[in-house]
Chain A
Amino acid sequence: MAALQRLQPVRRVAVSGGTHGNEMSGIYLVKHWLREPSALQRDSFSATPFLTNPLAIERCVRYVGRDLNRTFTKQFLNSKAARDEPYEVQRAREINHLYGPKGSAEAFDFLFELHNTTANVGACLIASAQDNLLPMHMCHFIQTHCTPGYYPILLYNLPDQETYSISSVAKHGLAFELGPQPQGVLRADLFTQMGALMACALDFIDLFNKGTTFPAFEMEAYRFIGSVDYPRHPDGELCAAVHSKLQDKDFLPLRPGDPIFQTFSGEEILYQGHTTIYPVFINEAAYYEKKIAFNKTEKCSLSIPALQRE
C-alpha cells in the first residue's frame, strides 16, 4: 500500500468557460460568475472565472482559426507572434502568460475546463493521467459527494504524449464534459448540473487546504486508447452513420461483432476488434472534421494513495 502523499495547498484557482465557443453551459456559468462571483468563494481561496475564446463565443462557433484546446503545446506556446497566425495561437500564449507559464512554479495551482458534447456521456470528468493525485481525489470526492448522477472518469493522455489542453497550463486541472447538448443550445438541466459539480469540486479544494486527510481508495476509470473514423466514399464523404444500436451508448461495452455503423444503403458494419472496448464521444459534432466517429477506451481499476496537504 502506497504511503500518504503530500501536496502543496491550492490557492490560485481558475475556471475557464468557452474554450469552445458553442458549448453553452460553461459560457453561461462563467458569465454568471463574472457578475456574481460569490459562488466561487471559499474560506481558503477564491476561484477566478474567465472566458477562454471570446471571439468564438461571440460567433457561437467552436473556434475561429484552429481548435484552442489543442494549442497548449510547446510548439505554439513558445512561438513568436506572427501576423497570419490563427487567433487561437495568440490567445493560447495570452492564457499561458496569465495562468501559466505551463510547467513553471508561477503557474496557477488548479485550472478547470467546462465543456459540452453532443454525445451521451453524462457528466464526464476528464483528467490527463492518473499520476496527478489531486484531480483523482477530486473525481472520487465528486462521485461520492455530488448530487446523484453518472460521473465516469476519462483519462485522455496517451503514454509519453505531450499535454495540449488548457488545463495543462496550471499545475493541476480537470475538465467537466457534460452531454448530450447540441452546440449553440443551453439546457437548464446541464447548466444546473455543471454548477453543482463546480461547487462540489471547490468544496473539495477547501477541505484539502484545511488539512483534511483523504484516504486511499480504488476507482474505476476509462483510459483513451484510440479512435475510429466513419466509413467514407473514395472522395472522403461519409457513406454511413453511427448505428442506432451504438448511438447514445457511451461508456457501455462494445464487443467484437457488435454493429457500429449503418450505411445509407442499409448495410450494417460490425466492430472488428478482438477485445471488448468502451466507446465514448459517440457521434460528437466537432469530431466529424477530426475523422472520429467515436473514441475507444479500456476500463481500468486504479489504486490511489491517501492524500493530505503539506
Chain B
Amino acid sequence: MTSCSVVLEAPVRRVAIFGGTHGNELSGVFLVKHWQKNGAEIQRSGLQVTPFITNPRAVKKCTRYIDCDLNRVFDPDNLGRKVMEDIPYEVRKAQEINNLFGPKGSDVAYDLIFDLHNTTSNMGGTLILENSRNDFIIQMFHYIKVKLILNKLLHIYFYMLLKDCIPVQGLNYTDSWAKHPVGVEVGPQPQGVLRADILDKMRKIIKHGLDFIYLSFLGEEFPPCTIEVYRIIEKVDYPRNKNDEIIAIIHPCLQDQDWQPLNKGDPIFLTCDGETIAYEGDSTVYPTFVNEAAYYEKKQAFMKTVKLKLTHALSPAS
C-alpha cells in the first residue's frame, strides 16, 4: 500500500538572479548590471530578489571563462577545495557563491535561482529544468508559457537534463544547489553581442517568473497542468579526422532547426568536400543546441532530445 503525503514546504521567498556565469553571454550580464543600478522591476513585496554577476573577471574580459567553466565546478570536490593561490579562478568563485547563496543543500540556501545564459543556437527562449519531479517549477514554467502565449511574445521550449534520474551528484551547475534551480537560455545571439530583441525576451521570462513566485508567496493556488518537455538523451560530436580536426559542418538543413523533428535519413552534416552525412537513428529525435559556439571544445555539434509530457496535479501552495 502506498500513501500519498503532501509535504508542506515553506514558500519560495529568497530569489537570486545570476548573470555572467559565462562572461560573453551578454543578455544576462547587462540585465543584471542594470538591475543592480535600478532594481524596481524585479522587486516584489515580501520577496528578496538579488541580482548577481557570478564571473566578474570573465565578464570584464568578455570571455566564457578565465580558467575553467564556472558552470561545471559546483561539485562537492571543488567546493571543498582549500583556498590556495593556484586553484582555478572559477573554483574560488564557486566557493564564494556557495557561501553567499548556499551552502549547497542547507536550510539557509536561497530558494530559487535564475541563471541567465545565451546560446548561438536558434533555441528561442528555453527554460532548463533539472528535475522532472519539481512541481513548483513545472507550475512556474506553465505559468510563464501561458503568459507569453497570451501576450503573443514567443514560443518557449523546455527540456530536462538526462541526469535528472540520478540522485544529487552529477548536477554541478551554477544554480544546481538551490532548492529550485532554473536555467534560462535564450538565443540565437553571438558571443560578445547584445541584441535588443533577445534581451527583451529574457526580461519577459524573468518578469513572469517573478510574478508567479509572488502569487505563490501570496498563497494563490494553481490548477493542475501538463507541460511538454524535451529530455536530453545523447550528445553528438562533429565528424573528425585522425588528428581530431573537424571535417564536417552542421548541414544547412539542420542549421537553425532546433526543436524540429529529425528523422532517419535527414541530413545532419556537410563535409568540406560537399558530401552529406545523414542521421541514421531509427527513432525521431529533436535536436537542440545546434552549432553552439562554446560546445566545439566540448565535442558537441548538437544534442538529441525526446519529447515528453510532464503533469502536475497539485498546486504547489497546497
Q: Interface of A with B (CB < 8 Å)? A: 28, 31-32, 36, 60-61, 118, 180-189, 191-192, 237-238, 241-244, 247, 262, 264-265, 283-286, 288-289
Contact = CB atoms under 8 A, between A and B. Distances in A.
Interface in B204-261: 245-246, 249-252, 255
A285 B63 CA distance: 12
A185 B293 contact: yes
Given A28-B249, A32-B272, A265-B38, 13 more contacts: A28-B246, A36-B273, A182-B190, A182-B191, A188-B249, A188-B251, A189-B255, A192-B252, A241-B30, A242-B194, A244-B197, A244-B200, A289-B62
**Of residues A182, A262, A284, A288, which shows the largest number of chain B Cβ atoms within 10 Å of its Cβ?**
A182
B270 A188 contact: yes
B71 interface: no
B249 A285 contact: no
6 contacts: A182-B188, A183-B191, A241-B194, A244-B200, A283-B193, A285-B191
B30 A285 contact: no
A188 B252 contact: yes
Contacts of A187: 249-250, 255, 291
Interface in B148-196: 188-196
B17 to A, nearest CB: 14
A264 B272 CA distance: 42
Interface string B279-318: 0000000000001111011000000000000000000000
Given A242-B196, A244-B197, A285-B192, A185 B245 contact: no
A285 B26 CA distance: 11
A242 B196 CA distance: 7
B34 interface: yes
B33 interface: yes
A285 B193 contact: yes
Contacts of A247: 195-197
A6 B126 CA distance: 59
A262 B34 CA distance: 13
A283 B30 CA distance: 15
Nearest to B270: A188
Contact of B272 (A28, A265, A283, A286): A28
B98 interface: no
Interface of B: 30-31, 33-34, 38, 62-63, 120, 188-197, 199-200, 245-246, 249-252, 255, 270, 272-273, 291-294, 296-297
Contacts of B249: 28, 186-188, 191
Contact of B195 (A36, A185, A241): A241
Contacts of B120: 182, 184-185
Task: Return the 8 tightest CB-CB contacts between A and B, nearest first.
Answer: A182-B190, A285-B192, A184-B293, A264-B34, A182-B120, A118-B190, A244-B196, A32-B272
Contact of B192 (A32, A36, A288): A288
A180 B197 CA distance: 16
Contacts of B31: 264
A52 B19 CA distance: 35
A183 B270 contact: no
Nearest to A36: B273
Contact of B190 (A36, A180, A264): A180
A119 B62 CA distance: 18
A246 to B, nearest CB: 9
B250 A288 contact: no
B293 A241 contact: no
A284 B189 CA distance: 12
B194 A183 contact: no
Contacts of B30: 238, 241, 264
A69 B191 CA distance: 21
A184 B193 contact: no
A202 B295 CA distance: 35
Nearest to B192: A285
Contacts of B34: 264-265
Contacts of B192: 118, 183, 285-286, 288
A183 B64 CA distance: 12
A32 B273 CA distance: 8
B206 to A, nearest CB: 13
A244 to B, nearest CB: 4
Given A60-B296, A241-B30, A262 B196 contact: yes
A102 B219 CA distance: 74
Nearest to A186: B249
A242 B249 CA distance: 31
A184 B191 contact: yes
Nearest to A185: B293
Contacts of A183: 190-192, 293
A241 B26 CA distance: 11
Nearest to A62: B192
Contacts of B292: 185
Given A182-B188, A185-B293, A265-B38, A238 B194 contact: yes
A185 B291 contact: yes
B193 A182 contact: yes
B293 to A, nearest CB: 4
